[in-house]
Amino acid sequence: MIMALAFFDICQVSEEKGRGAVAKKNIKAGTLLDIAHLVFVTDEEYDHLADTCVYNYLFEWPIDGEPLKYALAMSPCEFINHSYDPNSKYEMDYDNNTIIFKTIKDIKKGEELTVNYNGDVDNNDPLWFEVKN
């Protein structure tokens, strides 16, 4: 069993970003942080969630040939903030309906964990919010 909270704490990181994940010890690149199981939301639920803070925690779940789905990842990794220069990444596991969170750089104790919300670590497309560093 992976224990994400063995690697990081959830805490206030800044006024602009709110809460985030901060390393509680040094973490090596390539470390598996967590495997998040998903709760899928219906189109009707999505319409209601779009006007709430929960919207910011939804993942798009595209499957070829199917209508776009949305999901909540049941993991403390939901609190990992965005960066265009991330130290972690997530991968969709469509066969198991999970999201795998891994580090891609060495992370020092006290450093904030970040992922690129666009899904690809090199994707610099704008997001639905103004990015704060």
The predicted-structure confidence for 68-98, as pLDDT tens digits, reads as follows: 899 999 999 999 988 899 999 999 999 999 9
Q: State whether CATH 2.170.270.10 applies to domain 4-115.
A: yes
Domain ranges, ordered by start, for the chain: 4-115
Q: Which amino acid is at 13?
A: V
Alpha-carbon separation of residue 54 from 12, 26, 51, 64 (angstroms):
18, 30, 8, 26
Does pTM top 0.95 for this prediction? no
The predicted-structure confidence for 5-48, as pLDDT tens digits, reads as follows: 789 999 999 888 889 999 999 999 999 999 999 999 988 898 89
DSSP 27: B
Going 115 to 9 to 73 to 107, the CA torsion angle's sign is positive
- Please give the pLDDT value at position 121: 83
Reference 128, options 21, 36, 29, 50; nearest CA is 50
Task: Tell me the three state secondary structure of residue 18.
Answer: strand
